[in-house]
C-alpha cells in the first residue's frame, strides 16, 4: 500500500494538460515538449502552454505541432510566437534590447546588497573598535580614580 | 544628516516602484503589431459564408477590427457602445467572430443589434493567433494603408470611444 502511494505520488509530479499529440519523429517530439514548456499561456500568464487547459493554450499547442510537422525549426516557431505575442510569450526571454535590464537586474541588486553589507560591516567594526578603545580607557581611568580614593582613605575601619 | 537622507531616498525609490507596480496591468500585453501591416486572412462572411473578406478589400479606408464571441461576457458589456459608434457612421467596423458557433453568433447579433459592417468567422482561432489575440474582446484600429495603429485589450468603454478611438479615427482619416 505504502509503495503504491509512493508510486502514485511520483506519477502525479508530471501532470500536464491532456495532450495526446505524438509526432512520429522522436527529435520533433522532443522539440514539441521543450517548446510547449517554454511558451507562456497568455490567458493564465503563470502557466506554460503545456500546463494549461485554456483554449488558447490548446490552440497554441496545435500551432506548434503543425509547424513542427511542416518541418519548421524551433527558432522559427519561437519567432512566429514572438512576432504575434511579443517577448512576453517566452518564459525565457532573449537577452536583447528591452529585456537586458531584466537579465542584469538580479546581478545589479546582488552587487548593491554586497556593497551595502561590506560598508555596513566595516563601519560597525570601526565603531566597535573605537568604542572598545574608548571604553577600556574610560574604565581604566575610573578604576584608577577608585583605587586612588581607596588608597587615600586608607583602611578606615 | 546623511544618516536621514539615505533612508528617505531609498524609501522614495521604493515608493515610486511600488506605485508604478500598482498601476501596471499585467493582463495588458503590449502588442508587437503597432505600425505593422495587419496580418493577411481570407475568411468567410458570417452572414454569407461563401463570400470571403481579406484585409486588401479594406485598403484605402480606416477600419476597426473587433474580436468578439457570443460566449464572451465582456463583449456583451461592450456591445451597446459599438452599436452607438456604428450609428455615427464614422468608421467601418469589421467583426472577428472568434471560436464561436455561427448559429449562436447570428442569434447574438439578432437580439443585441449588429454594429458590424461585416463579421467574419474564425472558428478554429487561427486568425486570432495571427493577430496575437489572447483575450476577447480586443479591438484594432487599422489605417488606410493597412497598418495597425492601435490595439485595445478588453471591453471598449464610452470614455475610450470619446477619448481614444474617435480622435484617432479622425486623425487617420485625415491621412492620405
Question: What DSSP letter does each residue of chain B carry, written as one string?
Answer: -HHHHHHHHHHHHHHHHHHHHHH--TT-PPPTTTTEEPPP--EEBSS-TTSEE-GGGGTTS-EEEEEE-TT-HHHHHHHHHHHHHHHHT-SEEEEEEES--HHHHHHHHHHH----SEEEEETTSHHHHHTT--SS-EEEEE-TTSEEEEEEESPPPHHHIIIIIHHHHHHHHH--
Q: Are A54 and A44 in contact (CB under 8 A)?
A: yes
Q: What percent of chain A has pLDDT over 90?
A: 30
- Is the Cβ pair B31, A55 closer than 8 Å? no
Which chain B residues contact residue A86 at CB under 8 A?
29-32, 132
CB B128 within 8 A of CB A59: yes
Inspect the interface and report whether the beta carbons of B32 and A42 lie closer than 8 Å.
no
Q: What is the pLDDT of residue A15?
A: 53
- Mean pLDDT over B46-63 rounds to 93
Where does the pLDDT of residue A16 fall: very low under 50, low under 70, confident under 90, or very high at 90 and above? low
Tell me which of B98, B129, B140 to substitute to probe the interface with A (most A C-beta atoms closer than 10 Å).
B129
pLDDT number for residue A134: 65
Within an 8 Å CB–CB cutoff, is residue A43 touching chain B? yes
Chain B contacts to A (CB-CB under 8 A) = 26-27, 29-33, 99, 124-126, 128-132, 134-135
Of A15-19, A49-53, B10-14, the poorest mean pLDDT is in A15-19
Among A43, A63, A82, beta carbon nearest to B134: A43
- Residue A125: per-residue pLDDT: 87
Region A114-142: mean pLDDT is 80
Tell me the chain A residues in contact with residue B27 when contact means C-beta distances shorter than 8 Å.
45
* A85:B27 CB<8 A: no
Domain ranges of chain B: 36-174
Residue B151: band (very low, low, confident or very high) from pLDDT cuts 50, 70, 90:
very high
What confidence tier does A81 reach under pLDDT thresholds 50, 70, 90? very high
CATH assignment of B36-174, given 1.10.1040.10, 3.30.70.2660, 3.40.30.10, 3.40.640.10?
A: 3.40.30.10
Does the structure show a pLDDT above 70 at A48? yes
Give the residue on B whose Cα is nearest the Cα of A56.
B134
The least confident of A16-20, A63-67, B45-49, B72-76 is A16-20
Task: Please state whether beta strands B118-122 and B147-153 pair in parallel, antiparallel, or not at all (unpaired).
Answer: unpaired
Amino acid at each position: 500500500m505504502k509503495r503504491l502511494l509512493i508510486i502514485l505520488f511520483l506519477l502525479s509530479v508530471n501532470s500536464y494538460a491532456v495532450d495526446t499529440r505524438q509526432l512520429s519523429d522522436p527529435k520533433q517530439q522532443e522539440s514539441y515538449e521543450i517548446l510547449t514548456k517554454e511558451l507562456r499561456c497568455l490567458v493564465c500568464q503563470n502557466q506554460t502552454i503545456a500546463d494549461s487547459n485554456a483554449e488558447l493554450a490548446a490552440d497554441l499547442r496545435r500551432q506548434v505541432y503543425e509547424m513542427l510537422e511542416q518541418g519548421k525549426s524551433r527558432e522559427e516557431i519561437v519567432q512566429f510566437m514572438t512576432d504575434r505575442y511579443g517577448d512576453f510569450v517566452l518564459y525565457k526571454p532573449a537577452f536583447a534590447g528591452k529585456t537586458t535590464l531584466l537579465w542584469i537586474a538580479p546581478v545589479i541588486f546582488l552587487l548593491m546588497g554586497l556593497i551595502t553589507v561590506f560598508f555596513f560591516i566595516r563601519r560597525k567594526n570601526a565603531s566597535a573598535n573605537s568604542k572598545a578603545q574608548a571604553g577600556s580607557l574610560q574604565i581604566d581611568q575610573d578604576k584608577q580614580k577608585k583605587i586612588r580614593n581607596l588608597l587615600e582613605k586608607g583602611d578606615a575601619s | 544628516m546623511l544618516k536621514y537622507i539615505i533612508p528617505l531616498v531609498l524609501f522614495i525609490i521604493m515608493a515610486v516602484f511600488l506605485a508604478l507596480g500598482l498601476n501596471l496591468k499585467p493582463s495588458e500585453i503590449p502588442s508587437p503589431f503597432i505600425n505593422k501591416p495587419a496580418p493577411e486572412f481570407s475568411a468567410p462572411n458570417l452572414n454569407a459564408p461563401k463570400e470571403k473578406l481579406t484585409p486588401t478589400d479594406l485598403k484605402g479606408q480606416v477600419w476597426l477590427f473587433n474580436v468578439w464571441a457570443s460566449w464572451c461576457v465582456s463583449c456583451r458589456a461592450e456591445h451597446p457602445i459599438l452599436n452607438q459608434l456604428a450609428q455615427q457612421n464614422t468608421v467601418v467596423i469589421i467583426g472577428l467572430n472568434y471560436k464561436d458557433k455561427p448559429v449562436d453568433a447570428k442569434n447574438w447579433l439578432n437580439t443585441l443589434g449588429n454594429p458590424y459592417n461585416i463579421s467574419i468567422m474564425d472558428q478554429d482561432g487561427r486568425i486570432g493567433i495571427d493577430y496575437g489575440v489572447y483575450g476577447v474582446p480586443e479591438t484594432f484600429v487599422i489605417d488606410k494603408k493597412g497598418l495597425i495603429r492601435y490595439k485595445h485589450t478588453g471591453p471598449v468603454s464610452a470614455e475610450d470611444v470619446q477619448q481614444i478611438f474617435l480622435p484617432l479615427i479622425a486623425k487617420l482619416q485625415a491621412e492620405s
